[in-house]
Amino acid sequence: MEINRETLLKIAHLARLNFSDESEDEMLQGLNDMINWVEKLHEVDTEGVDPLTNMSQEVNSWREDEVKSDISREQALKNAPKKDEEFFKVPKVLK
Amino acid sequence: MSAETNPTYQAVIGLEVHIQLLTSSKLFASDANKYGDPPNTNISVITLAHPGTLPRVNKQALELAIKMGLACGSEISQYMIFDRKNYFYPDLPKGYQLTQDRTPICVGGSIEVVTDQGPREIKLNRIHLEEDAGKSFHPPHTNESLVDFNRAGTPLIELVTEPVLHHPDEAYQLLSEIRKLVTFLGICDGNMEQGSLRCDCNVSVRRMGETALGKKVEIKNMNSVRNVRRAIEKEVKRQIGQLEKGDRIISETRSFDEKTGGSTSMRSKEEVTDYRYFPEPDLSPLQIPDDWLQSIKEAMPVLPKQLQLQLEEQFGFVLEDALFLTDSVEMHNFFDQAVKQFPYPEHILNWLKGPVQSVLNERGITISQLGLTTSQLGELASLTAGELSFSVAAQKILPLLLEDPSGTPKAIADRLGLLGSSNSDQLEPVVLEVLETFPDKVNAYKKGKKGLLGFFMGQVMKKTNSTVDPKMANELLSKHLN
């Protein structure tokens, strides 16, 4: 699989990444190297093997429906770059 | 207006219904799942996506989702994983939503709707579990938005129908039925205004006889079942108008405008919606054990459809009355409790669908908000099953009961002198007094002016402040006049 410039720019947009035109070639090369390296896995026959979605072998690691509060609003807002007494503040977004 | 008024087109509609589950805590964390609390107070490090935190599934959310699937006859997936749906929005702290793409908890199933065209089974594609996002506010005159994460992580099921609806009214009936189901199952409060039940509609039109689907438009943000019907009606009309003009339909998402019933474009789907779903590695798979599934099946409540049939069979109610009593779980429970205490089903029904329902309509509330108890209504029904006049009781006793929740119908009726033989004894002198006051009119009546009976009734009512049973007054007047 070959990553072309169009795909690179699409991925960059989806990830909200900006880079200069000069570094595009470098990015393209790096991405293609990675894909080629991982593509080696195609050599393994996985016929009839379910995809592995989790490294642990456990199932049903669920919890009971109980309310436990772990942090206060004050603590929650502490790390926010912008806030008031009640809310997180972000650059204006309108749907 | 819908497609059937323009027979060259057929509308194709599918619904995506988001249902907030009535759990105590969130889907993947232990912070409270509660509407209306001060902003950012029901939060946790998991909900806020702090580094190094790991989600854990709420078992109760699985159970509630399974109940919905069982009620719809869906196949329950006994093996499941969650998937990440990747996109950026400030109310989504992780940068992805945890949802079920590959292994929805319920597959297939159907819900019956009844329209003018008769009953029809609406096929479901799936019901999957996912987490809700936070809420953003956009105050005017500033270049900042405010984010509240109380809702983030709230357990949702999303019910997706097949694109098999063809009329706005079918969509209306289906959504009403879904709301009824979730409230009878006790898995959601069904409140569309507060957003605990939300419905997105996928609408397209095509020429009659065509099998390929037209470009679909998604409409969001309807806050009532009625507005879902309005939105679809307008959208079908808009799309047909576009096609008739020779324009093409753009696949897009539109936001409903309550004032006009129309919608405005939010974003074009043709641009970028690439969610890059992949399995969530932070959650181990789920395997629903047979015995647990069995015990959920056994504990299923009776569904509204069955309750409706029971009412018809047990009490001989007609379909319309049975549907009235099973329209909401509150109404049904109220009736059920009242009948258990006072065995006058017919009279209780008449009270509920008549005077009580008109007060509810007037005040725009539900029966549990009215403040009337089942024993008060049951007692009222037992009195009107006897000699107390229904219309008098509705006019005189019910308003007093609603003013004074501790009052009993019997005590009020006694106080107003509406009960017992003393009532008839008290009424007779009033009747005689009226007749003695108008000897000329009595003569005219006796000579054949029978219409004067109404005049005498009016006088009796005036003297007694309308507290007497009109039937009894009528009988006494006739007795003394003839």
Question: What range does the domain containing A9 cover?
Answer: 5-41
Q: Is residue A10 part of a domain?
A: yes
Q: Which residues of B touch A84 (CB under 8 A)?
A: 146
Q: What is the mean pLDDT of residues B74-92?
A: 95
pLDDT of residue B3: 64
pLDDT in tens, B15-25: 999 999 999 99
Interval B216-243 mean pLDDT: 95
Percent of chain B with pLDDT over 70: 96
Residue A82 lies in a domain: no
Contact B254, B219 (CB under 8 A): yes
Q: How far is the C-alpha of B8 from the C-alpha of B172, rounded, in Å?
A: 23
Strand partners, B277: none
pLDDT band (50, 70, 90) for residue A52: confident
Tokens 């003569």 locate to B443
pLDDT of residue B431: 87
Whole-number Å distance between alpha carbons of A38 and B272: 27
Task: Name the more confident of A94 and A51.
Answer: A51
The terminus-to-terminus CA distance of chain B in angstroms comes to: 61
Flag if B138 and A92 touch (Cβ within 8 Å).
yes
Mean of the pLDDT values across residues B447-462? 86
Residue A25 lies in a domain: yes
Determine, for residues A59 and B142 on separate chains, whether the beta-carbon distance falls below 8 Å: no
- Tell me phi and psi for residue A3, to 5 degrees: -90, 120
Q: What digits encode the pLDDT tens for the residues B32-56?
A: 999 999 999 999 999 999 999 999 9
Q: Decide if A14 and B276 are in contact by the 8 Å CB cutoff.
A: yes
pLDDT band at B75 (very low <50, low <70, confident <90, very high): very high
In a domain, A94, yes or no: no
In 3D space, the residue among B25, B29, B57, B61 whose CA is nearest the CA of residue B45 turns out to be B29
In a domain, A37, yes or no: yes
Q: Do A58 and B284 touch (CB under 8 A)?
A: yes
Number of H helices, E strands in chain B: 18, 17
pLDDT of B2 > 70? The answer is no
pTM over 0.90: no
Q: Using an 8 Å Cβ cutoff, are B21 and B155 in contact? A: yes
pLDDT (tens digit per residue) in B316-334: 999 999 999 999 999 999 9
Instruction: Write the DSSP string, B96-132.
Output: EEEE-SSS-SEE--EEEEEETTEEEEEEEEEEEEEEP
**Chain A with chain B: Cβ pairs closer than 8 A:** 134
Asked if B24 lies within 8 A of A66 by C-beta distance, the reply is yes
Secondary structure string (H, E, C) spanning B324-343: HHCCCHHHHHHHHHHHHHCC
The pLDDT value given to residue B432: 87
Residues 6+ apart with CB under 8 A from B141: none
First and final CA of chain A: distance in angstroms?
36
Hey, which residues does B218 pair with through a beta bridge? B202, B253
Amino acid at B368: S
Q: Give the number of domains in chain A.
A: 1
What was the pLDDT predicted at A31? 93
Q: How far is B242 from chain A (nearest CA, A)?
A: 24
User: Which among A56, A67, A77 is the nearest to B24, CB-wise?
Assistant: A67
The CATH number of whichever domain residue A20 belongs to comes to 1.10.20
Mean pLDDT across A5-25: 90
How close B330 gets to chain A, by Cα (Å)? Answer: 25
**pLDDT tens string B172-192:** 999 999 999 999 999 999 999
Residue A82 Cα, gap to closest chain B Cα (Å): 10
CB contacts under 8 A, B 275-314 vs A, are 276, 279-281, 283-287, 289
* Sign of torsion over alpha carbons B127, B132, B138, B139: positive
Q: Which residue has the higher pLDDT, B367 or B481?
A: B367
User: Mutating which of B37, B147, B151, B257 best tests the A interface, going by the most A Cβ atoms within 10 A?
Assistant: B147
Structure confidence by residue, pLDDT tens digits, B191-204: 999 999 999 999 99
Residue A54 lies in a domain: no
Chain A's closest residue to B27, CA to CA, is: A65
Cβ-Cβ contacts under 8 Å, B272 against chain A: 10, 13-14
* Chain A residues near residue B152 by CB distance under 8 angstroms: none
> Would you state the structure tokens that stand for residue B2, as one six-digit string?
């819908």
Closest residue to B45, CB basis, from A14, A51, A70: A70
Residue of A nearest to B42 (CA): A69
Chain A environment of B255 (Cβ under 8 Å): 95
CA dist., res. A60 & res. A5, Å (int): 43
Q: Could you tell me the domains of chain B?
A: 9-291 (no CATH), 304-416 (no CATH), 424-481 (1.10.10.410)
pLDDT computed for residue B457 by the predictor: 87
Contacts of B283 in chain A (CB under 8 A): 54, 61
Q: How far are the Cα atoms of A5, A11, A34, A35, B79 from residue A31, in angstroms, in the given order?
A: 11, 11, 5, 6, 35
**Which stretches of B41-167 are DSSP H helices?**
59-71
- pLDDT at position B200: 96
> Which region among A87-91, B96-100, B114-118, B243-247 has the lowest average model confidence (pLDDT)?
B114-118
Between chains, do B285 and A53 touch, taking CB under 8 Å as contact? yes
> Tell me, what's the pLDDT at B271?
57
Neighbours of B355 (CB within 10 A): 20
Least Cα separation, residue A90 to chain B (angstroms):
5
Residue B468: beta bridge partners? none
- Is residue B420 pLDDT above 70, yes or no? no
Q: Return all residues near B337 (Cβ < 8 A) that are at least 6 apart.
A: B374
Contact B232, B218 (CB under 8 A): no
When pLDDT is cut at 50, 70 and 90, the band that residue B1 belongs to is very low
> Do the Cβ atoms of A71 and B267 come within 8 Å?
no
Q: Which residues of A touch B274 (CB under 8 A)?
A: 10, 14
Q: Residue window 65-84, chain A: list those with CB within 8 Å of chain B.
A: 65-71, 73, 76-77, 82, 84
Contacts of A67 in chain B (CB under 8 A): 24-25, 30-32
Q: Bridge partners of B18?
A: B158, B198
Residues B256-272: what's their mean pLDDT? 79
pLDDT digits (tens, 9 = 90+) for B332-342: 999 999 999 99
Instruction: Report if residue A73 sits inside a domain.
Output: no
Confidence of residue B268 (pLDDT cuts 50, 70, 90): low
Q: How is chain A classified by DSSP, letter by letter?
A: ----HHHHHHHHHHTT----HHHHHHHHHHHHHHHHHHHGGGGS--TTPPPP--SS------B-S-------HHHHHHT-SSB-SS-EEEE----
Q: Which chain B residues touch A76 with a CB distance below 8 Å?
A: 40, 43, 48, 149
Closest CA to B345 of B371, B308, B378: B378
Q: A77: which chain B residues are within 8 Å (Cβ-Cβ)?
A: 40
Q: Which of B59, B255, B267 sits opposite A65 (nearest CB)?
A: B59
User: To the nearest whole number, what is the mean pLDDT of chain B?
Assistant: 92
Give me the residues of A, 4-23, that contact B with CB < 8 A: 10, 13-14, 16
